[in-house]
Chain A
Amino acid sequence: MDPLQLVRRWPLFRQLTGSDPLGRGDAVRSDAPEPWEPRTDEADTVTRSVCPFCAVGCGQRVYSKEGRVTHIEGDPDSPISRGRLCPRGSSSLSLVTSPTRITKVRYRRPGGTEWEDLDLDTAMDMIADRVVDTRARTWQDTDAEGRLLNRTLGFAHLGGATLDNEENYLLKKLYTALGAVQVENQARI
């Protein structure tokens, strides 16, 4: 290309010589084929959500198109975050659309050296069987002194702090009804 033409295309040159001295319009416009539109314009739904990382609770707007998430950004309406997200919060789209996410059940049999495939329904049945079996074998009605226990120490739970309130509530309710007391959460550690 003619070197002079290259200089003329240089945004700084255009800014200094053209009608856009502040460099906010034509001077800095690229010559890529129009139109460029933000992903957010093409979304068919915008859903209000909350950042899943730290406990500040920044608002998020989740843009999706045809059932797939296309963009996540800060919610300017939030009095907490005023539209901002930090590096972690800004990575939310990568978190939910990660190509390495597991989407199939993985099963490892005792002594196994590799993962195996397992149907979700079968896995749920097997897990329910394990709970019922372990609970029955490890049930404690009373302790050695005859004090009421009504419980099992045969299985335990540890949850992360992205389990939401409704999930924690049902977990605590189910475990307590099953007599499981070793129920713990990241909230301690």
Chain B
Amino acid sequence: MAEAHPVGFQWVMEAKRRGAKIIHVDPRFTRTSAVADAHVPIRPGTDIAFLGGLINHVLTHERDFRDYVVAYTNAPMLTREDFVDAGDDDGLFSGWDPETRSYDTSTWQYEGAEVAAASGNRDRWGGDAETHRVSHLLGQSESTGSGGVPFRGDPVRDDTLQHPRCVYQVLKRHFARYTPEMVSSVCGMSPEQFTEVAEAICANSGRERTTMWVYSVGWTQHTVGVQYIRCASILQALLGNMGRPGGGIMALRGHATIQGSTDIPTLYDLLPGYIPMPGAHHEMHLPEYLAADAAQKGFWGNMPAYTISMLKAWWGEHATAENDYYFDRMPRISGDHSTFTTVLNMIDGHCEGYFVLGENPAVGTTNSQQQRHGLSSLRWLVVRDLQEIETATFWKNGPEIETGEMRPEDIDTEVFLLPAATHIEKAGSFTNTQRLLQWRHQAVEPPGDARSDLWFVHELGHRIRARLASSQLDRDRAILDLTWDYPTEGPHGDPDAHAVLAEISGYRVADGSPVSGYTDLRDDGSTACGCWIYSGVYADGVNQAARRKPAGGESPAALEWGWAWPMNRRVLYNRASADPEGRPWSERKAYVWWDEEQQRWTGHDLPDFEAEKPPSYRPPEGAHAQDAIGGDEPFIMQADGRAWLYVPTGLADGPLPVHYEPEESPSRNALHPGSRANPARERFDRPDNRYNPPDGEPGSDVYPIAFSTFRIAEHHTAGGMSRWTPYLAELAPEMFVEVSPALAAERGLEHTGWATIVTARSAIEARVVVTERCKPLRIDGHVVHQIGLPWHWGPNGLVTGDAANELIGISLDPNVHIMDTKTGTCDIVPGRRPRGPALPEFVASYRRRAGIGI
């Protein structure tokens, strides 16, 4: 965090100054470790074993915050009789289908409840294995970005937590094998180090204290990325650290508005506000879609209002109750259309055009060679950026040109490289890592042909509509009837970003007056709102994201700086900071509480709860949506109002986290020897994406070293915004690899000399940094060498170097299709890599030795 989010890290240091203990769990000793109270080394890819060990410690020693757990989590819910937990050996839950490598998740449900089949087949409930499998490809898991998955019915509970099938007991059995000794043997830290961490977090949780977990892509970029976060959620819910000040799980996102790009998604499986994209079905019109997806209980119960308001924002007067608000004209998804699959479609000739805006897949995406093959298979490519990035010049100076695998004359891709405006040359809002929207005012006009992406999309829309204006084709109605009449301003005719934000925030159709928030939205077509979770950011016709009261005003939550979704609430589910009766759990940790006198919730933050719903409220029979949430149920987006220790529906690879080894691993799975890696992970075993044999399989000794990737403070992502900047280029001029003194001695690697790193995909060269920061690990009795690779370089820019992404194969998490970049195996040898045609031959010679692809 000190390295990748330095300014955010000042608050960790502030906390330390006030007595907080900082524990840094990381494979490498970094700038963060240097100022932490403790550095706990861990082998990349084993965090579920580590976190599972912590959960086991909490449960074995009964260190959970029992009052919180009983009232606010699903610990008392009973699982179904036919649910079978992951086996000790095979690590498989009930419902596994080896043919399709996927789960039928129906047995994971609570007793007494019924799950939505989810977006895979939204027009029915229950459903078969195929339905469940497809539903995950369609992003059911991702639609939980602002709350839980819907289910129906009334789960059976045992508030004493004694029933053998209650979640608490299931959890206890599930994690019983994650002992300190097991954690040590899998993760590489000592049992004493582990126990010290476990004791520290238990001692720092409860009524009087809270513990926070902070993570970044070191937790997400795995084939079990979602389950990593699930594991932390279980631990935090057991310790009562959710919805409370100083608690929670803080995702440190890596880019200025990557949170915004998820909330208002340019993602294939989502519509704004985590509304799922409709899937392809025989009979699915708006009522079926809404009925299948809207929850019975909680705020997702209002999904019809959110969805119809979005359709009204997009198709205006053309969206009417009679035509289902244009729902039938929306495109349908039918599988995984994520970026990795799309690039394979390019290579296979099914996708011919590509817009790449402010992104650099030619060096920035895993298995970049495959990405460049995709680019060279296109008919046309539009790149918009600030510099001549590698994605725009692959046809001219890409690595395949150098090796002779491609010739510019043979590449038929037509390339448009358009200059883009920078963040200060256009107005708009970024959403930071804590869901806070902050407005950027425009300082100057962009130079030359440079334009904002807002200008580009607006202009492109106009030109496409002009070309189709006389069309009578049914398929062109959606684009021709789209509301696209934004006022423009400035010398280039930029659309007014305020007008776009006002549409996102929502208005009443009758008079155009702004709504005050999502609770104003209706399902009768009388309101329009582009993104329901952002509703209220333009309340009262004022750009709330542009608020800049110094230090955010008087409130400790800095409520007058920017605007956080939803409704400017800064800590989500903060009703949980008070006990079921509405009193703070302790004076020290008071945050939001029920004011008996005023008969409303009050405190240091805006309550993430209906302000006037008393703790004593009990939903009447047949209540719907938020009315079905009791006054003592803080998790208002969840269909049972509770934090989930166990996930009855919504995940593709298990209701509970299981330690699996990565696709490429230097070790066997000590916890579940029968299932080496996540059985439900997505693999693409094809000639352009070969995998190294994992430990124990023939050929694995050809790639005996483990590698992980990391970032440094001086560069940003794949370097598109830093390699062209003189200061940053000078601070970190060359690609390097961190190796331990032991490995350096073993392989004859010299500090500041060159090394070549090779995998089944490719080989790269890097300067050697011999450092004690990188340590060999003792795993399951044998020594594993690991190396660290930053990934900021490429062939263009002021400073150049090989991209680490050349080395990495694509294997994906089955829930969200994120790739594993954090673990892999390789070989490392001294000296520079071969040039020209000798490079692919060098890589192929390794493959032959390992017996890959034969």
The finding on whether chains A and B are genuine partners in a shared complex, rather than unrelated, reads yes
Chain A: CB-nearest residue to B341: A182
Chain B residues in 8 Å Cβ range of A64: 443-444
Contact in complex: B386, A56 (CB < 8 Å): no
Q: Interface 1/0s, chain B 460-485, versus A by CB < 8 A?
A: 11011011100000010011001010
Contact of A51 among B254, B256, B333, B461 (CB under 8 A): B256
In the assembled complex, A178 has its CB within 8 A of some CB on chain B: yes
CB <8 Å contact, B388 and A98 = no
In Å, the complex CA distance between A108 and B443 comes to 32
Is B358 positioned at the interface, with any CB of A under 8 Å from its CB?
yes
Indicate if B541 sits at the interface (CB-CB under 8 A): no
> Which one of A10-18, A21-29, A30-38, A135-143 is at the interface?
A135-143
Complex-state Cα separation, A91 to B439, whole angstroms? 20
Question: Residues of A contacting B411 with CB < 8 Å?
Answer: 110-111
Q: Binary interface profile of A, 119-139, with partner B (CB < 8 Å = 1, else 0)?
A: 010011111111110100011
Q: Bound complex: CA of A60 vs CA of B443, how far in Å? A: 11
Chain A positions 36-65 with a Cβ under 8 Å from a chain B Cβ: 45, 47-60, 62, 64
Contact status B443-A62, CB under 8 Å: yes
Q: Does A2 contact B (CB under 8 A)?
A: no
Residue A106 at the B interface, CB < 8 A?
A: yes
A69 touches B424 (CB 8 A): yes
B74 to chain A, nearest CB (A): 28
Q: Which of B338, B423, B504, B715 has the most CB of A within 10 A?
A: B423
**Binary per-residue interface labels of chain A (94-120) against chain B in the complex, 1 for a CB within 8 Å, 0 otherwise:** 111010111111111111111100101
- The listed residue (B263, B352, B475, B484) touching A139 by CB distance below 8 A is B475
Query: What 0/1 readout, one digit per residue, does chain B (720-754) give for beta carbons within 8 Å of chain A?
Result: 11101111100100000000000000000000000
Chain A residues near B396 (CB, 8 Å)? 108, 113-114
Q: Is B551 an interface residue (CB 8 A)?
A: yes
Cross-chain contact B550 with A147 (CB below 8 angstroms): no
A72 to B448, CA, bound (A): 21
Question: Is B440 within 8 A of A102, CB to CB?
Answer: no
Q: Which residue of A lies closest to B450 (CB)?
A: A103
Q: Is A9 an interface residue (CB 8 A)?
A: no
Q: Which of A55, A92, A94, A183 contacts B432 (CB 8 A)?
A: A55
Docked pose: A94 CA to B350 CA in angstroms: 41
Interface residues of B in 520-543 (CB under 8 A from A): 530-531, 534
- Decide: B449 and A103 in contact? CB cutoff 8 A: yes
Residues of A with C-beta under 8 A to B395: 108, 112
A153-B337 contact in complex given A55-B253, A127-B382, A188-B816, C-beta closer than 8 Å: yes
Stretch of B36-44, B128-136, B359-367 that contacts chain A: B359-367
A7 within 8 A of B: no
Q: Is there contact, CB below 8 Å, between B561 and A186? A: no
Complex contact B409–A113 (CB within 8 A) = yes
* Cβ A167 vs Cβ B440 within 8 A: no
| A188, B728: Cα distance in complex, Å | 26
> Interface digits, B204-230 against A, CB 8 Å rule (1 contact, 0 not)?
000000000000000000000000000
Annotate B436-455 by CB proximity to A: 1 below 8 A, 0 otherwise: 11111111110111111110
Contact B459 A124 (CB under 8 A): yes
| A94-B448 contact given A120-B418, A161-B255, CB 8 Å threshold | no
Q: Does B414 sit at the interface, judged by CB under 8 A?
A: yes
Contact residues in A for B272 (Cβ distance below 8 Å): 169, 172
* Chain A nearest CB, measured from B347 CB (Å): 13
- Let me know if B261 and A186 touch, CB within 8 A: yes
Residues from 153 to 189 in A contacting B, C-beta threshold 8 Å: 153-189
Those of B354-398 within 8 Å (CB) of chain A: 354-361, 364-366, 379-380, 382, 385-388, 392, 395-396
Contact B436 A167 (CB under 8 A): no
CA–CA, A166 to B424, complex, Å?
15
Are B419 and A169 in contact, CB atoms less than 8 angstroms apart?
no
Q: Do B449 and A105 have beta carbons less than 8 Å apart?
A: yes
Residues of B within 8 A of A19 (CB): none
Cβ 8 A contact of B361, one of A96, A130, A158: A158
Asked if A48 contacts B728 (CB within 8 A), the reply is no
Interface residues of B in 216-262 (CB under 8 A from A): 252-262
Say which residue of A47, A91, A134, A174 sits within 8 Å of B461 (CB atoms): A174
Q: Which of B478-536 contact A (CB under 8 A)?
A: 478-479, 482, 484, 495, 497, 500-501, 503-504, 530-531, 534
The closest CB in chain B to the CB of A102 belongs to: B419
Whether A170 and B500, one on each chain, are in contact in the complex, defined by CB atoms closer than 8 angstroms, is: yes
Most buried by B among A72, A84, A163: A163
A49 touches B423 (CB 8 A): yes
Q: Are A132 and B264 in contact (CB under 8 A)?
A: no
Query: When the two chains form their complex, are residues B259 and A149 in contact, meaning their CB atoms are under 8 A apart?
Result: no
A176 close to B330 (CB less than 8 A)? yes
Chain B residue contacts of A124, Cβ below 8 A: 459-460, 463
Residues of B within 8 A of A154 (CB): 351-353
Q: How far is the CB of B800 from chain A (nearest CB, A)?
A: 13
Known: A134-B379, A185-B261, A189-B365. A48 touches B463 (CB 8 A): no
Given A87-B713, A96-B424, A164-B428, A184 contacting B338 (CB threshold 8 A): yes
Which of B256, B385, B408 meets A53, CB within 8 Å? B256
- A154, B350: Cα distance in complex, Å: 7
Docked pose: A107 CA to B449 CA in angstroms: 13
B351-A170 in contact (CB<8A): no
Segment with Cβ contacts to A, from B6-14, B59-67, B585-593, B661-669: B6-14
Does residue B4 face the partner (Cβ distance < 8 Å to A)?
yes
Stretch at the interface among B48-56, B100-108, B277-285: B277-285
Give the distance in Å from the alpha carbon of A157 to the alpha carbon of B416 in the complex. 14
Residues of A within 8 A of B453 (CB): 159, 163, 167, 171
Q: Is A3 in contact with chain B by the CB < 8 A criterion?
A: no
| B443 adjacent to A47 (CB under 8 Å) | yes
Shortest C-beta distance, B3 to chain A (Å), equals 9
Hey, which chain B residues are within 8 Å of A59, CB to CB?
Answer: 438, 548
Report chain B residues within 8 Å CB of A181: 268, 277, 331-333, 337
Q: List 7 A-B contacts (CB under 8 A).
A: A48-B441, A84-B10, A86-B6, A95-B721, A108-B414, A147-B281, A160-B357
- The chain A residues found within 8 Å of chain B, CB to CB, are 45, 47-60, 62, 64, 67-69, 72, 75, 77-82, 84-92, 94-96, 98, 100-115, 118, 120, 123-132, 134, 138-139, 141, 143, 145-151, 153-189
The 5 closest A-B pairs by CB, nearest first: A57-B432, A103-B448, A160-B358, A155-B353, A161-B255
Q: A101-B387, A108-B417, A182-B342 are in contact. List 16 more A-B contacts (CB 8 A).
A: A51-B256, A54-B716, A79-B561, A80-B561, A131-B353, A148-B284, A163-B453, A164-B429, A164-B454, A164-B497, A166-B500, A166-B504, A167-B457, A181-B277, A185-B359, A189-B364
